[in-house]
Structure 1
Amino acid sequence: MSKAPRGVRLVIALAGRRNAGKSSLINALTGQETAIVSDTPGTTTDPVAKHYELLPLGPVTFYDTAGLDDEGELGELRVKATRKILYRCDVAVIVLGEEGLTDYEQKLLATVREMGIPYILVWNKADLRNATGGPVQVNGQTVDCLDVSAADGTNVTRLKELIIDSVPPEYRQERLIVGDLINEGDSVLCVVPIDLAAPKGRLILPQVQVLREILDCDAMGTVVKEREIEAALDGFSRKPALVVTDSQVVMSVAGDVPDDIPLTTFSTLFARYKGDLDCLVQGASAIDDLKDGDSVLIGEACSHHDVADDIGRVKIPRWMTRYTGRDLNFEVYSGHDFPEDLERFSLVVHCGACMLNRTGMLRRIAECSRRNIPITNYGVAISKLQGVLERVLRPFGY
């Protein structure tokens, strides 16, 4: 469970004011001393993550966050970090303290509703007050509120059930990366160049996940580098059902793979698996409209040091500049940071999001769409820049 990829975990955030008992509640939910508990307000400074197996959902991550009423310059930074966790969570648990519902929770609930995040309102410390439970008025609307006690366990099991019931529908059904494109007994050829950014001794996560799904489908996966494609194809007794390649070599692979064999890229598969392929394909068309001086955001879901041939920081800017013939500005945002001033960008080019869950990626896509900023992803953009996008999209019915 602790080794499950971060990008496929459900994220559940506990938020509320200081001393509302969020840390105690997350300890009660996980049955472990995950977070430090103290009567001193502001004990939790940075978000604390705890991996947990919440059946029947599977691996999830609970986040304990700093209080929304934290004070001072440092407190403002902590509150900002809390809101970043909420931005990428799948379910929010809003925890009321002894004071009940205040302006802090009202504002938080308004934000959560605006973002479309499923939420549960709980009133903690039922063992220390006259617990009444039932609905409360939030911004003119009636919202159910569950009485809980982290100290004696009151309604903790019920809270878990409500979390499970609140999960977005997509988590209740299995999403496929490649399984709907192949059948049992098929052969799939995976082209995996080894570059400077590849982790030593292992493959990158999208490649591993695709290979695992091929095996789960009782199909046969063959892995080669780009120089071995012809020999691999000659070795098959019948044509492979699909060739999946790293986007960085898609143009040369497209030239080596006969046109009657379906071809796509790992990143394009993840554009569909983690995001909205139609939207990302449409976003790629904005490359043709770029002008001198336009700014392009390169979005990376993970943080890493620069390498000489980095795909997002070096290759894509070079290919895009060559394709457009324009003088463009490129800015990189890594990890969970995403700029608030999206309007100054003419295009967002996002990575495959293997380290984000689907909700986080869809929320980024939705935010770009809300502000009329076109967004695409590495694989789709590279295929367009290399002139093979139409072929790469063909396996998906385009």
Structure 2
Amino acid sequence: MIKMHNTPRGNRLHIAIFGRRNAGKSSLINSLTNQDIAVVSNIAGTTTDPVYKSMEILPIGPVVIIDTAGIDDVGLLGELRVEKSKEVLKKADLVLLVIDAAEGITIYEQDLIKECQQRDLPVVTVINKIDQNSVTDNDLADYKNTLGTPVVAVSALTGQGVADLKISIIQNAPKSWDDQTIIGDLLQPGDTVVLVVPIDLAAPKGRLILPQVQTIRDILDHDAIAVVAKERELKQTIDNLVCKPKMVVTDSQAFLKADADTPPDVLLTSFSILFARYKGDLETLVDGAKAIESLKPGDKVLIAEACTHHRVEDDIGTVKIPRWMRQFVGGELQFDWVSGTKFPHNLAEYKLVVHCGGCMINRREMLARIMQVRQAGVPIVNYGVAIAHLHGILRRALSPFPHLAAMLD
């Protein structure tokens, strides 16, 4: 259950800890968090698979710490662990590269930094175990010049230097990781937004789903007014307002009803389209909608969801979208479904990828997914954009973004 006062994992700064075996990665996590949350051992290779922990680190705020296996792991299993660890780079906002002060720099650290640079992923190098091996200012300058990253010296055991590391994390975190808005930049203080929230089998009992809650919060954070109604009450809600709302935001499944009941001079969009911009690249996803036009019976379509959830009888991803697409194409399509963290290896076989809104993953991971699909030469669209296009109202649904609506000309 998502509580309104909890920061969702997808909105937390994702900090990945990399380093050779026994560099002190797990000890550093415990020192950063002031908790014994990571298993510490003198035996090399204690951490095997990546471990994710959501927490608060003062004064940084809400984060996800990702502990990984040693980048120098050996053997067939070791290579698989390293490969799995490096998949974390798709999800990370910042990398802490831990080096044992007694061991110095090797090809492992240099290769990892090169890979991070290719991904435009910031790295802070952490020289650990300075309680056992002294590190001078000249040593730190040499590390910085050789690696080309900020460098901080710490003792994960005693806590020395950890406060400086926290400052470096704040200074080097990507500027965009926490300054995205869902809807606030489209509003002025005092604007009214009507949110259309259907209550059906998919609606969790007693609460709203995460995108709805986050959108409400963003409206309030920007001193605007949020009015919530079910789709059947939308017209009455608008009629009862003294002034017309600036915008109507609907659940994608109620697009047609919302379109019919929203005055033409009121902006209309969906939660999913807002999240396509908030979490990913709306322009690429709108461009992907054009590929729906070229689908033919027999084509393969991949429907991807970033998380697993209980599917209801008329599920949006497994039932509704496939039904609407078959009707649009005028014949049968081959659908595959994937949920969780991985795409299939045969992406190039698909004519289109239809992705969920990505509310449970962070922006960096969503962008990595979009890049992976595009590198395979396949167009990608998300649920909200696809549904609007299939119902013939995509241009209206992009009314808050006229430059993107112009792409449809």
Q: Which amino acid aligns with 1:12?
A: I
Aligned positions of 1:1-398 closer than 5 A: 3-54=6-57, 57-71=60-74, 74-97=77-100, 98-131=102-135, 132-136=139-143, 142-143=148-149, 145-171=151-177, 174-397=179-402, 398=405
Comparing 21-30 with 146-155, greater Cα deviation is found at 146-155
- Rounded to whole Å, the distance in 1 between the matches of 2:70 and 2:357 is 33
Which is worse superposed, 77-86 or 386-395? Answer: 77-86
Paired with 1:137 and 1:203, the residues of 2 have a C-alpha distance of 48
Answer whether contact 1:135 1:144 (CA < 8 A) is retained: no
Q: Which runs of 5 or more structure 2 residues have no equivalent in the other structure?
A: none
Q: TM-score, normalised by structure 1?
A: 0.91
AA aligned opposite 1:164:
I
Given that residues 135 and 145 in structure 1 are in contact (C-alpha distance below 8 angstroms), is that contact kept between their aligned partners in structure 2? no
| Alpha-carbon distance in 1 for matches of 2:297, 2:347 | 18
Alignment partners' CA distance in 1, 2:379 and 2:51:
34
| 1:1-29 residue CA offsets vs partner (Å, 9 max, x unmatched) | 98211111110000122211100011111
- Name whichever of 7-16 and 252-261 sits farther off: 252-261
Following TM superposition, by how much is the alpha carbon of 1:111 offset from its aligned partner in structure 2, in angstroms?
2.2
Residue range with higher mean Cα deviation, 29-38 or 386-395: 29-38
User: Structure 1 residues 37, 117: CA separation in 2 closer, same or farther (over 3 Å shift)?
Assistant: same
Q: Partner amino acid for 2:155?
A: S
Partners in 2 of 1:5 and 1:51 — Cα distance?
A: 9
Report the CA distance between 1:353 and its aligned residue. 1.2
CA distance in 2, matches of 1:341, 1:155: 46
**CA distance, structure 1, for counterparts of residue 359 and residue 238 of structure 2:** 29
Structure 1 runs not aligned, ≥5 long:
none
What's the offset of the Cα at 1:55? 5.3
Contact (CA 8 Å) 1:299, 1:332: kept in 2 or not?
A: yes
* Contact 1:283/1:376 (<8 A) preserved: yes
SS of equivalent residue, structure 1 residue 134: helix
- In the alignment of these two chains, the number of paired residues is 396
TM-score with structure 2 setting the length:
0.88
Whichever residue aligns with residue 241 of structure 1, its letter is K
Partner SS, residue 368 of structure 2: helix
Name the amino acid aligned to 1:260. Answer: D
Is the 2:90–2:364 contact (alpha carbons within 8 Å) kept by the matching residues of 1? no
CA contact (8 A) 2:297 2:332 kept: yes
Alpha-carbon distance in 2 for matches of 1:390, 1:62: 40
